[in-house]
Chain A
């Protein structure tokens, strides 16, 4: 009964359009004041300790690192490198777009910013080379979402915060699915380009490739620094994030010289703005999951599932449907923070690997970023290409469908995700 009231209230508050963090907070307060004997003091304490974990601090650090490298100059280097590598194949510039998006998204950590940076530079070039507008828009919109699967990923840190799963193992688990999904998107691009006979670029010489790689390597080394540091145990994930923030600052200001020292406060302020918004949702989501636990909602759910003989297959299908639906209303971080604490205990009880479950959630989030009504990538792409949302939604379909296919593969083939972290002994 209480559970129905809690969820009803949360849903009602959210649909009025107030910030998600505020709806979560008000639901919790209403519950505390009217439905429970839990002393207010213990909750007041939760209010303070909600984000007092060193692991959570990886989020602001990763945002700082990403913001230093979210710059047109970095995007240009990645595009140059990508097109020197794959530009001579069918759909050359399109394939280069997929690769450049994957690299830039991983480094910058923001999907919409990836669509803007890569799209603004690459789309005019594609149009000039003779690609139809909607082809380029489809490639960039979907590939821009790759960033949350390829580490470092803030979405994964959120999941690890909500479920106490190892960030390092999640990051490692994201590598192969990330590369595979980039391969799938690239495959669709190649196939569409081949069947429509879209232009190819002249093949770059070995020297050009080396030069393009050297230019972009400074930015790409960020990923190596984080993954290598965490894997070898030199850094904890949060320390790795802080090191990458300082590294990104040095690269942006002193190596690439994309920005000067006086731009630094602005970058920090923007990072603080974004981090604080996410940390504020975390604080309130922690409170919310606290009342869910005190009401035994996850346990009730898993007992109900087991009582009806619903196994892993049905549960994972239900999870995908729920998350895809939620992707119509909310952005990824909020979905992970609200749904992970509810679904995770059930998943564990059914014997699903925590890391595998995290990757399933993240791939779901990627799909949600690419379709209306809330997929930010789509809206940003519409801003760049001056295409309408409806037209763009149609343009995105071939890639979005293949993404959904990939989601099914990831869901029911755990080895794809957990083989690498298992082999490396991280879980």
Chain B
């Protein structure tokens, strides 16, 4: 489980970092190849970076799908919680569980739909071909315009990411059922304020705002125990 957590974090960090570098390099390349420097210009012109935009989009789609799953674990997904935060803890707990299970249901359905789409758009062909099975009536899937990668590989982010997200919803639901605690995200986190005085020591993970459901701990308990349950940061 720890391994999966780290893999997820490592993957989305890598994806967003790579996308930034790719776009940056493509822009620099576009202008640098316009400079009339002998040798360098010819070399730059020989490199074709027209695929950069497509690659950036693919990297970000993958980042978005797996990052959304990571977001369930860090409690970043915002909701309308004005109403349920006014209910008694027992009723609120029921609705929070319902919400988490609804999340699992939705991501589960999307994963199934996405899986079917990917299967019919080339995965079927590719896997059967690889396994040497019969390919009657099975069409080869399309490829992307610039990179010419099979689209089914690109789109498999949907079933994979959604399945992981479904799993995370179930995981958080189970944790909530057992302990009454939800992961919190600190929307106002700023580094480098350590010496700024008493105000900076407040716990952003325990804000009683209404964009997230309040879990079943009292505000006091939340102040002391909140950092420990934020798996994403408290490594």
Q: Fill in one digit per residue for A256-278: 1 if any B CB lies within 8 Å of its CB, else 0.
A: 00110001110011111111110
8 Å CB contact of B80 from A243, A268, A329, A379: A329
A124 at the B interface (CB under 8 A): yes
Interface residues in A197-232 (C-beta closer than 8 Å to B): none
Indicate if B220 sits at the interface (CB-CB under 8 A): no
**Residues in B whose Cβ lies below 8 Å from that of A57:** 19, 23, 56-57, 60
Asked whether A17 is an interface residue with its Cβ less than 8 Å from the other chain, the reply is yes
Contact check, A273 vs B70: say whether CB atoms are below 8 A apart: yes
Please determine whether A60 and B190 come into contact, CB atoms closer than 8 angstroms. no
Cα distance, A48 to B68, chains bound together (Å): 15
How many residues on the A side are at the interface (Cβ–Cβ under 8 A)?
A: 88
Contact across chains for A21 and B77 when beta carbons are under 8 A apart: yes
- Asked if B113 CB lies within 8 Å of chain A CBs, one says yes
Q: B232 within 8 Å of A by Cβ?
A: yes
- Inside 8 A of B64's CB, which chain A residues have their CB? 51, 275-276, 279-280, 283
CB–CB A72/B196 < 8 A:
yes
Contact B188 A277 (CB under 8 A): no
* B9-A269 in contact (CB<8A): yes
Binding site for A on B (CB under 8 A): 9, 12-13, 15-17, 19-21, 23-24, 27, 31, 53, 56-57, 60-61, 63-68, 70-71, 74, 76-85, 92, 95-96, 98-100, 102-103, 105-106, 109-110, 113-114, 116-117, 155, 158, 185, 187-194, 196-200, 202-204, 207-211, 213, 232
Which residues of A approach B to under 8 Å, CB–CB?
Answer: 13-23, 25-26, 29, 40-41, 44-45, 47-48, 51-54, 56-57, 60-61, 64, 70-73, 75, 110, 112-113, 115-117, 119-121, 123-124, 234-235, 238-239, 242-243, 245-246, 258-259, 263-265, 268-277, 279-280, 283, 328-331, 334, 372-374, 376, 379-380, 382-386, 389
For the complex of A and B, list the 8 residue pairs with the smallest distance between their C-beta atoms, beginning with the closest: A276-B67, A72-B192, A18-B99, A19-B77, A242-B23, A112-B188, A383-B202, A120-B200
- Given pairs A242-B23, A274-B76, A383-B207, 12 additional interface contacts (CB within 8 A): A15-B83, A18-B99, A26-B105, A52-B61, A110-B187, A116-B188, A116-B193, A124-B196, A273-B185, A334-B78, A374-B211, A384-B199
